[in-house]
């Protein structure tokens, strides 16, 4: 009887420890950084991640940021656990010693960013940008497009005068003619094309892939890998819904950003959503971005992108 009692006591202790371990593996709250125009905004308004995590006793807190660099600063200091940005911000964050992880990426969407000029401009090609003032958001994805486009045209970054402005300020400068060209991404690209008769000189197709990356702090990704996987799973499901229901997705994003639904319909027509785990090829493309930025002096140090590999992808 004593042996039997000992067995059940040991079993109860084992179950208790297992339950405690399972509970410890789940966060109480997941803090998600988002921008009004990115896929996490769509996830927020759809509510599917909140519903899934609520069933597991996990709260979701949504924290809005104006742009990717600020969002990744929040990731670095621990105010958020998850973020979605374009290609360039994660590399600059790594250069600043941010301990982040690449959880996954979207499909390449090079048609969603472009170099534009006023319709009546004498600039007909990227080569014509020599000596011109070009507006862009420093350290953003379009910064990489500009570097690649100039080099393909036989120019260097020193051949133009970069004017570093946030999208709203850049649009105003573009419209009043104080810059000669603007390098911008959707939905701002679609908006300026629709309302100012802007003309594309080049988009990123054939130059740079242009991904959206889904990122996490290492502390979160390594501490709560199952929760991190659930986020990628929900992004994948959301992507399938958005790709099949572009008008509904456009309506949600129009409400989020204040832009016309027609602007978002144009943007979504050239922006496939998706969420895939990282691959060696995508890491190699991201490493090329980092190396190119270092070479032209935009990145102060060399960055080893592979240091941000998730341990789950090394197995």
pLDDT in tens, 164-222: 999 999 999 999 999 999 999 999 999 999 999 899 999 999 999 999 999 999 999 99
Worst-scoring range by mean pLDDT, 14-23, 63-72, 77-86, 202-211? 14-23
Q: What pLDDT digit, counting tens, does each position of 32-73 carry?
A: 999 999 999 999 999 999 999 999 999 999 999 988 888 999
Give the chain's domains with CATH numbers: 7-109+211-313 (3.40.190.10), 110-203 (3.40.190.10)
pLDDT at 268: 97
The yes-or-no verdict on residue 101 having pLDDT over 50 is yes
CA gyration radius for the chain?
Answer: 22
The yes-or-no verdict on residue 23 having pLDDT over 70 is no
Alpha helices by DSSP H, the chain: 2-24, 39-46, 48-55, 68-77, 88-95, 141-152, 167-176, 188-196, 218-223, 225-244, 246-257, 261-269, 280-295
pLDDT at 263: 97
Instruction: Answer whether 49's CB lies under 8 Å from 60's CB.
Output: yes
- In the chain, % of residues over pLDDT 90: 85
pLDDT at 6: 43
Instruction: Answer whether 213's CB lies under 8 Å from 276's CB.
Output: no
């Amino acid at each position: 009887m004593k042996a039997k009692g000992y067995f059940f006591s040991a079993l109860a202790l084992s179950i208790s420890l297992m339950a405690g371990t399972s509970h410890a593996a789940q966060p109480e709250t997941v803090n998600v950084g988002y921008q009004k125009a990115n896929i996490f905004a769509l996830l927020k308004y759809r509510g599917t991640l909140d519903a899934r995590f609520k069933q597991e006793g996990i709260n979701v807190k949504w924290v809005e940021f104006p742009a990717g660099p600020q969002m990744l600063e929040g990731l670095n200091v621990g105010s958020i656990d998850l973020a979605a940005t374009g290609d360039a911000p994660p590399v600059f964050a790594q250069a600043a010693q941010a301990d982040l992880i690449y959880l996954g990426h979207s499909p390449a969407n090079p048609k969603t960013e472009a170099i534009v000029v006023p319709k009546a401009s004498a600039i007909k090609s990227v080569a014509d940008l020599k000596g011109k003032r070009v507006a862009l958001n420093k350290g953003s994805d379009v910064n990489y497009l500009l570097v690649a486009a100039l080099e393909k045209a036989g120019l260097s970054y020193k051949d133009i005068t970069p004017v570093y402005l946030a999208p709203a300020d850049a649009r105003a400068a573009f419209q009043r003619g104080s810059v000669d060209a603007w390098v911008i991404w959707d939905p701002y690209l679609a908006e300026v094309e629709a309302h100012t008769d802007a003309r594309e000189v080049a988009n990123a197709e054939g130059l740079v892939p242009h991904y959206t990356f889904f990122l996490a702090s290492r502390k979160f990704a390594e501490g709560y890998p199952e929760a991190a996987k659930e986020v990628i799973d929900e992004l994948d499901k959301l992507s399938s819904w958005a790709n099949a229901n572009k008008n509904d997705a456009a309506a949600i994003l129009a409400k989020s950003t204040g832009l016309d639904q027609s602007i978002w319909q144009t943007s979504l027509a050239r922006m496939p959503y998706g969420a895939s785990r990282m691959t060696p090829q995508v890491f190699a493309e991201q490493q090329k971005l980092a190396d190119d930025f270092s070479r032209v002096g935009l990145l102060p140090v060399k960055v080893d992108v592979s240091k941000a590999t998730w341990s789950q992808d090394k197995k």
